[in-house]
């Protein structure tokens, strides 16, 4: 599994500092050396992603998106990401404190690639992250590989 060991550019959009810190801790638990970029402000995150994709510098391989965000709702962020040709190929993992079936379905409907409940975060984050990263690191390479030639 060559790709899993490759360090990924991961953008994390999370306004709750505590949650961001716990996430960071969880990432630190594995041996990977992924590049994590945290954003509390969704607009800044979108701007960053747009310019990163445009300039192909630190192009995100994976986005972790909290749905409960200030100013712009996480769902709106998701819709924007998935409607923009430049960013729609980047896998998005939705993090939410809601276990509601509707919320989960809505997230997938809007183009989320995975949905992880925050209540399960601590118990599951490490294995979940591992699965996601293993899986998405391989998939995430696809567009860049396409772009390479």
Partner 1 sequence: MKKTGTTYSLTKHAVGKRGTTNARNGRQGQKRRGQKSSHLHQKKQALGKSRKNANRLNAKGSSETPRKDSPKRPKQSVRYLTEFVPVETIHREGPYDFLVQHAPYGIGIVQQGKLVLVNPTFAKMLGYRSASDIETKPITHFIEEGSQRSYQLLEQRKLRGEAIPSKFEMKMQRTDGSKVNVECSLSLCIYEGQPAVSVFVSDITDQKQLETRLVDSERLFRNVVNSMVDALVITDLQGKVLDVNEGFERLTGYQRREVFGMGIPYPWVPDEDLRSYIRWLERLRENSFLKDFDITWRRKDGSQIAVSMSTTLLRKTTGEPALMVNIARDISERQQAQRELSQQVQRLQVLYELSRALTETWDLHEIGVKTYQQVKRVIPVDAFFITLYEENKNVVRPIFVVESLNGQEGEHEQTATPIPLEEAPVIAKVVASHESMLEHGTNQKPLSSYFPFGSLPKPLSSLMYVPMFSKDRIIGVLSAQSSERNAYSADRLALLESIASVVAIAIEKVKLYRETIEKSQEIEARNKELDDFTYVVSHDLKEPLISVEGYVKILKDEYGETFDETGQQFLRSILDACTHMKRLIEDLLQLSRVGKLSEVKHEIDLNKLIAEVIQELQFSIQERKAQIVVAENLPKVVSAEPYVKVIFRNLISNALKFCDKAIPVVEVGVRPAESPIFFVRDNGIGIPPEYHEKIFLIFQRLHKREEYEGTGAGLTITKKIIEAHGGRIWVDSSPGMGSTFYFTLPSS
Structure-block tokens of residue 80: 């924007």
Does position 97 bind partner 1 by CB under 8 A?
A: yes
Q: For the sheet with 9-13, list strands across it.
A: 35-39, 9-13, 62-66, 92-96, 114-117
Please identify, among the stretches 39-47, 72-80, 117-125, 133-141, the one whose residues bind partner 1 according to the rule CB under 8 A. Answer: 117-125
- Between 22 and 128, whose beta carbon lies closer to partner 1? 22
| Tokens 């960053």 belong to residue | 48
Q: Which is nearer to partner 1, 76 or 84 (CB)?
A: 76
Q: Does 68 bind partner 1 (CB under 8 A)?
A: yes
Q: Looking at 74, 80, 116, 118, which residue binds partner 1 (CB under 8 A)?
A: 118
* Contact set for partner 1, span 34-63 (CB under 8 A): none
For the chain, give the number of residues. Answer: 149
16 is an interface residue for partner 1 by CB under 8 A:
yes
Give the residue with the Cβ less far from partner 1, 4 or 68. Answer: 68
CA–CA gap between residue 9 and residue 51 (Å, rounded): 14
Q: How far apart are CA 8 and CA 126, in angstroms?
A: 16
- 3-class secondary structure, 64: strand
Binding site for partner 1 (CB under 8 A): 16, 18-19, 22, 25, 68, 97-100, 118-119, 121-122
């Amino acid at each position: 599994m060559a790709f899993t060991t490759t360090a990924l550019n991961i953008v994390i959009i999370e306004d709750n500092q505590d949650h961001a810190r716990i996430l960071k801790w969880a990432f630190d638990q594995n041996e990977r050396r992924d590049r994590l970029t945290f954003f509390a402000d969704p607009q800044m995150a979108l701007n960053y992603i747009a310019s990163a994709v445009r300039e192909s510098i630190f192009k995100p391989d994976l986005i972790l998106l909290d749905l409960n965000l200030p100013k712009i709702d996480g769902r709106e962020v998701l819709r924007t990401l998935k409607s923009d040709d430049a960013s729609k190929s980047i896998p998005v993992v939705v993090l939410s404190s809601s276990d509601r079936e509707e919320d989960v379905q809505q997230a997938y409907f809007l183009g989320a690639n995975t949905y992880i409940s925050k209540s399960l975060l601590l118990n599951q984050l490490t294995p979940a992250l591992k699965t996601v990263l293993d899986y998405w690191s391989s998939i995430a390479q696809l567009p860049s590989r396409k772009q390479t030639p």
